[in-house]
Chain A
Amino acid sequence: MTAKIMIVDDEMMIRKYYVMLLESKGYTTLEAANGYEALEKILIDPCDVLMVDINMPKMDGLTMVKEIRSRDGFHHLPVIMISAEEGDADKDSAFEHGVSIYLQKPVKADLLLQSVAQLLIK
């Protein structure tokens, strides 16, 4: 069975881009436009890796990770956090929230695929 990656970003085009990259490597993908929608979807259809943009409307990335991690069955879900913001403030809070990998936008395709592969091996 192929690994399932959930992509959470409010920018539709970024989601499409990640979907294209990931599906070209044989992964299955799920999309959500904000943390709240991701939570709705993931409870019904769990994934193997979560890729989350830190800045989103309704429920931001960090709140979402905290919320998902508090639910049974999701305590150890690997999370890639992606941010467009410069500086380390986001990075620090991301790691405090148990994020596994932190990437800066624009994310290079090979780095993204490498990060996903790395989390799936663990």
Chain B
Amino acid sequence: MPLYQWGKSSLSLGSTHSCTGNRCDDLIKDAESADPARRRQAALDLAYCRNGKRVLPEIVLKERHVAVRETMFDSLLHLVDAAMVERLLPMLRSNDAMLRNGAIELFQQIPELFAPHVSGLLADDDSDVRIFTINVIQHLHHTMVPSWLLEVIRHDRHVNVVAAALNALADFARPNMVGDLLAVKKRFEDQPYLHFAVDTVMSRTKRGVAIDATGITDSEFESFRDLFYARTGILFKENKRYFVDKRLIDRIHKTGHQSFADYFRYVRLAESAHEFQILTNVMTVNETYFFRDDGHFKAMVHSMLDQIVANKRKGEMIRIWSVPSSTGEEPYSIALYLLEYWPKLSDWNVQIIASDINTEVLERCNKGIYSKHALRFVPQPLVRKYFAELANGEYQINLALRKSVNFFLGSILDAKYQADVQHVDIIFCRNLLIYFDDVSRKQAVETLYGLLNPGGFVLLGSMESMSRISSRFQIQKIDSSLVYQKGLV
């Protein structure tokens, strides 16, 4: 039976790390093993070992394998304290760009621990160290960032250091900075690039924020946005304002509330979980259709699956995850492509799982009923083969296909659901990350990375890009599609 038919999900929980007695010594040996996979596992386990703090800052210096080193930095982040920051600071002077970048990214995530060093580093004799410090602080969540950057543009004499500070200041531009900005032009009269940079920052100091509210005020929108983000990880930006306001007003009316304030009080209550779920449903509905962005499905049957089975033993399961499943068009498209276009399907067991945070769409997935419009890109012979036309003109996908996909409720940001989706070979995660902010996006991608088998793939929407989120994956171009592969180690 090539496509796994789901009864109920019974996937096991993953292991947890622990470290006791002799295991500690073994870890240190493993951390110096010639085998990168062992070193990586040791790096992971050292995060939970009493020797981790001592050993990791030393071994990371010697590590040359990219994935192993990244894991070491993850473990360092887990262990870092004030004393360790002191030991890691010299990495800003390293000629090894990958090591330095690892340190920069780590420092960016520990604002309180890094802040005490900023003034000293910005006064360092080495202009490169000053530039790397600016690279850290421009992404540091700390109230002092604008003041530090202003100090640099006021006093630093090195054109490249001032250039880096101006670039970073663009995100914090305020009208009261104009005097300092103009002074830079004076100090560096013969540097056309700095003049260009000053003008760019100046233009940002003038930009106002004025968005018309249509019944929901700015601060009400912000309260709702923050609550929704805290509970779902989805952050609505200003460009979604119209969409959000319209749906909010609709829910306010339908629940009989008089104002946003009344409704908001109601929806925040624990007893209103049901209303919050409805709100989640209406806020996350997207129109989709079968065989959307079919380059990915073609890449799957023409190349990715062949690469995956090359590293599997006969009989091993191949697991494909569609997240978010939305109304089911994507996971069912995966099933159709496998059945129709992957000749090796008969030799392998393939499980398809699909999840969404929207209960309403999951119900529709299980029913498998679609409009003719949703099937517009499915060839007619396949429609006839796999769908039954209903009396109302809609189409229902056949029972065997409906049983071939296991749908479940869950967010990729919620740890309790992750236990159900381990050891995945291909993850379709298209047009989801665009709804997240940088922090959730990074967290989601880390999760996907952790759930993938070595050599597994992630697919993003055609307008999305992995490059601003993570560099853990190797990029492959298959036909016209970019896919992201986890390394085999």
Instruction: Name A's B-contacting residues (CB within 8 A).
Output: 10-14, 16-17, 20, 32-34, 36-40, 43-44, 54-63, 84-86, 89, 105-107, 109
Contacts and interface: CB of A to CB of B under 8 A. Distances in A.
A11 B475 contact: no
A79 B196 CA distance: 25
A90 B200 CA distance: 30
Interface of B: 95, 97-98, 101, 104-105, 127-128, 131-132, 135, 159-160, 163-164, 166-167, 170, 191-194, 196-197, 200-201, 465-468, 470-471, 475, 477, 480, 482
Max count, chain B CB within 10 A of own CB: residue among A13, A39, A44, A109:
A13
A68 to B, nearest CB: 11
A86 B475 contact: no
Contacts of A36: 466-467, 471, 475
Contacts of A84: 127-128, 131, 160, 164
Contacts of A62: 97
A112 B191 CA distance: 14
Nearest to A85: B128
A13 B467 CA distance: 19
A10 B135 CA distance: 9
Contacts of A89: 95
Nearest to B139: A57
Contacts of B104: 57
Nearest to A15: B167
Nearest to B168: A11
A41 to B, nearest CB: 8
A12 B196 CA distance: 12
Contacts of B477: 43-44
A32 B467 contact: yes
B468 to A, nearest CB: 7
A32 B465 CA distance: 11
A11 B467 contact: no
Contacts of A58: 101, 467, 470-471
B385 to A, nearest CB: 34
Contacts of A20: 196
A31 B167 CA distance: 16
Nearest to A54: B97
Contacts of A10: 135
A105 to B, nearest CB: 5
B220 to A, nearest CB: 32
13 contacts: A13-B201, A14-B167, A16-B196, A17-B193, A37-B467, A37-B468, A40-B475, A43-B482, A55-B132, A56-B101, A57-B104, A84-B128, A84-B164
A55 to B, nearest CB: 7
A100 B131 CA distance: 25
A57 B466 contact: no
B475 A14 contact: no
Contacts of B98: 60, 63
Contacts of B101: 56-58, 60
Contacts of B194: 106
A76 B38 CA distance: 37
Given A11-B163, A57-B101, A85-B128, A40 B170 contact: no
A12 B163 CA distance: 11
Contacts of B191: 106
Contacts of B164: 11, 84
Contacts of A43: 475, 477, 482
Given A58-B101, A84-B127, 18 more contacts: A11-B163, A11-B164, A12-B170, A13-B167, A14-B167, A16-B196, A36-B466, A38-B467, A40-B467, A44-B482, A55-B97, A55-B131, A56-B101, A57-B105, A60-B98, A84-B131, A86-B128, A107-B193
Contacts of A109: 192
A110 B167 CA distance: 22
Contact of B482 (A40, A63, A85): A40
A62 B192 CA distance: 27
A56 B167 CA distance: 14
A39 B466 CA distance: 11
Contacts of B201: 13
Nearest to A62: B97
Query: Closest 9 CB pairs between A and B?
Result: A37-B467, A60-B97, A58-B471, A11-B167, A84-B160, A36-B467, A36-B471, A43-B477, A13-B167
A57 B135 contact: yes
A13 B465 CA distance: 21
